[in-house]
Structure 1
Amino acid sequence: MDIRQLIDTTRMTAYQWFIIGLACFLNALDGYDLVAMAFTSSSVSEEFGLSGAQLGWLLSSALIGIGIGSLFLAPLADRYGRRTLILAALAIDLVGLSMSALSDTYGELLLWRVVTGIGVGGILACVTVVVSEFSNLRFRGLTISIYSAGYGLGASLCGVLAAQLIPTHGWRSIFFIGAALTGFALVITFFALPESVDHLRNRGQEDKVRAIAARIGKTDEFTVTPAAVEKHSAGLRELFRGPFLATTIKLWIAFSLITAGFNFANQWTPKLLTEYGLSAQQGIIGGIMLSFGGTIGSLIYGALTTRIDARRLLVIFSLLSAVVLVGFISAANWPGLMFALGVGVGMLLNACVTGMYTVTPQAYPSALRTSGVGSAIGISRVGAVMAPIAVGYLLDAGWSPTALYVTAGALVAVTAIAMIGVREHTTPVAATTPAENADADRASVRS
């Protein structure tokens, strides 16, 4: 039995679950970092005198950074290791948050939010792969969901702290707290997170693979497949060869649409609710409800993946998200109902994001996994970035919050069509020559 088969088919050990918990914490920090601008938007707009378009760019600045980090940092993880890149990305995130809190102008804040996003992008791509690689097949969907649930927890924490601290300590306090939490995460990750066994196996480092296997409690006998058996060039061009081409394009489209809808709802909801006529406090509560619902959605999605195909669930949840987005803004005149639907919006949209993080790593072989996930996250930032910016311009042009939510719902619904034909990649178990194995890898993907 190979080490990959051993992890895939044996029970999860306590240390494996610890790794999942650490990944959840890292994703909670990402959730905190990304919505910090949304919850501080009213205070920042007032201090710097921002228009809707300027606020849109500010809300999208971290998303631009995520695109850069996902496209250019993530492929380096396939060369230097997942753990190494996670540590580097956390350091970048720490600098971005600290300097955001110290910014004195709109331009400075915009710049440092981009830097923060670069760090978050590197973390997202690498940690997603780590979770997938340290999970067995039975619980892989659940572990991805637990990891994804961290986003909602972090975002909810940011909202609660914003409601409590901004009136007395100002908006900068939110970024200082984020920097402190990131520094703590950097230390914990350095000492507790092992390198990916898949990465070490593909580099032929058998001794390190066996050391990490012992560390995570895998004491059964196993072999370590030579790197040549699964040799692929860890570059973006490999994602466009053979049957990977159709899979990559479909995943890019689906990821872009989902992240566009998700970031629209999470970044603009507090501000749009005030535009609708609600108070600033009600706007923050609405944002918190979305974040809280996101945590529930991730866990529900993960539980269902133990019984239902992850791709089918993603299609169902994307269609439901479109319906509830429209219902949420339609109920703005009834705050109680609106807040309840806000939980539903967050639950369904976050479940869709969880679905993309579950389906995407499974669509590629291990040597291309970080590049595949990183490129999908990076390209998806086009939709994610454009959504908040477009909303700012459309709001200045007179679009109503209702029209904006209906449009977002329609885009999310198209995800169901984009996911048609995406399948899980399977690697042949029998030993083959490098050339034969490469051919078999390509043939195993069905578009």
Structure 2
Amino acid sequence: MLGETVRKAGNDATEAASQWALISLCMLFNVIDGLDVMAMAFTASRVAAEWGLKGAELGTLLSASLLGMAVGSLLAGPRADLYGRRPVLLTGLALSSLSMLLCFWSPNPYVLIGLRLLTGVGTGAILVGANVLTYEHTSAHRRNLAIALQSVAFALGASLGGLLAHVLNEYAGWRYVFLTGGLLTLAGALAGACWLRESPAFMALDPQSPRTAPMTVTLRSAQYRELFAAGQWQQTLALALALLLIMFCFYFVMSWTPTLMIHSGFSEKQGVAVGMLLCAGGVIGALSLGLAANRFGCRRLLRGALLLNVALMLLIVPSSHVAGLIVPVGIATGLLLNGMIAAMFILTPQAFDTAIRTRGVGLVLATGRIGAILSPVIAGLLLDANWSTQGLFAFFAGSQVLAALLIGFGCGRAGRQTSKPC
């Protein structure tokens, strides 16, 4: 009896160590993802100055990687359900590293837009793969925290991007931000090739090689319809549209705040510093959400964060003119924004069964990217139309009210009708 207890404890410890190793590896991928995605935001003012870009042109450049992320998420979902999560994630890392490295030699904004589009395709695949692998590798009582930690890692990567930009913009130039990011992404791809394991849930679901099983391809192709089956479609639509609205606000704040601060009369260093405050707050927010989700309910926390974020969005610009106030407001805004993303990452995999999970996650994330794509472009157009910085923040704050309604009514109603509440 004692020997059996000791053996069980040893197996549990080994399993926990294995799970945390996988979580840490996926966190590394999300650090790289955050760095790659936000590299453009922290170099935008330098790129615009070098090539004389207007607001709409700069918005297009900021949106290019986000469009790529939508495409990458849609492409990754079916292939990850068919061939496995691991190969799709590694392919995304390889594509991101190559395109980031090539950004160093961009001769004009059009080439840079194309390369940022390819970077986005890679990061979209990374995001879907890392999120689903984390969910499927971890036990139920660790899941919320494990997935929230992926958002922490993304925020850390964004902060690292800000730190790199702060140093490299000053002493080497904006191109070296992309060069450094590309080298780090390449290192992550090599680490994944060596140590990343396939999802046990996927292996149990599909033990045959899908490349040699045509019937499997036929069956899986029909499973797109299951995302909109009775009892499922409400959750799919509520999550997808809510994430679209959250991303619409998130990427406006994260992509445009440094540039808008400079536009309002602050120095470049001050603009980057505010952007880094948002990222630093994001680390705290994502971690706090993961720790609190089991106790208070993820959906309830998400609704509260959305409504509180509306108030803080309206305070960002006024607080920047009051000594010492921008620090707590910036950190709190970043905390809520990244906490909301973490909540969506926790809720989304829960809403889909294993056989359609990466398709469901991919579809929700891709829809969210539509908001991210539109956000910088619309902000650029409004800026060219002489909207004030305060007016822009108020406009984007309104999207969070709509997202709260979706989470509160659409997602909540669907959850009461099924055994998988989102």
- DSSP-derived class of the 1:306 partner: helix
Question: In the alignment, does 2:313 pair up with 1:319?
Answer: no
Question: In the alignment, does 2:122 pair up with 1:119?
Answer: yes
CA contact (8 A) 1:100 1:112 kept: yes
> Which runs of 5 or more residues in structure 1 are unaligned?
1-5, 207-227, 427-441
Q: Which of the pair is proportionally richer in helix?
A: 2
Map residues 327-366 of structure 1 onto 2, 5 A cutoff: 327-366=315-354
CA contact (8 A) 2:351 2:421 kept: no
In the alignment, what sits opposite 1:160? 163
* Distance in 2 separating the partners of 1:36 and 1:249: 31
Map residues 187-202 of structure 1 onto 2, 5 A cutoff: 187-202=190-205
In the alignment, what sits opposite 1:204? 207
Per-residue CA shift, 1:200-255, capped at 9, x if unaligned?
Answer: 1111369xxxxxxxxxxxxxxxxxxxxx9xx8656433211222111111111101
Query: Which amino acid in 2 is paired with 1:254?
Result: A
Deviation for aligned residue 1:55: 0.3
In the alignment, what sits opposite 1:224? none
In the alignment, what sits opposite 1:270? 258
In the alignment, what sits opposite 1:432? none
Deviation for aligned residue 1:340: 2.0
Map residues 169-248 of structure 1 onto 2, 5 A cutoff: 169-204=172-207, 235-248=223-236
Question: In the alignment, does 2:411 pair up with 1:422?
Answer: yes
In the alignment, what sits opposite 1:81? 84
Map residues 60-71 of structure 1 onto 2, 5 A cutoff: 60-71=63-74
- DSSP-derived class of the 2:131 partner: helix
Question: In the alignment, does 2:23 pair up with 1:20?
Answer: yes
Deviation for aligned residue 1:446: 6.4
In the alignment, what sits opposite 2:3? none
- DSSP-derived class of the 1:278 partner: coil
* Distance in 2 separating the partners of 1:119 and 1:297: 26
Relative distance call for 1:125 and 1:343 in structure 2 (3 A) is same
CA contact (8 A) 1:244 1:445 kept: no
CA contact (8 A) 1:31 1:153 kept: yes
Query: Which amino acid in 1 is paired with 2:232?
Result: F
CA contact (8 A) 1:298 1:354 kept: yes
Query: Which amino acid in 2 is paired with 1:372?
Result: G
Q: 1:36 aligns with which of 18, 22, 39?
A: 39
Query: Which amino acid in 1 is paired with 2:406?
Result: A
Deviation for aligned residue 1:195: 0.3
* Distance in 2 separating the partners of 1:417 and 1:131: 29
Deviation for aligned residue 1:409: 1.2
Deviation for aligned residue 1:22: 1.0
Q: TM-score, normalised by structure 2?
A: 0.91
* Distance in 2 separating the partners of 1:132 and 1:425: 22
- DSSP-derived class of the 1:422 partner: helix
* Distance in 2 separating the partners of 1:88 and 1:191: 14
- DSSP-derived class of the 2:141 partner: coil
Report the RMSD for the aligned CA atoms in angstroms. 2.2
Q: TM-score, normalised by structure 1?
A: 0.86
CA contact (8 A) 2:350 2:421 kept: no
Map residues 47-62 of structure 1 onto 2, 5 A cutoff: 47-62=50-65
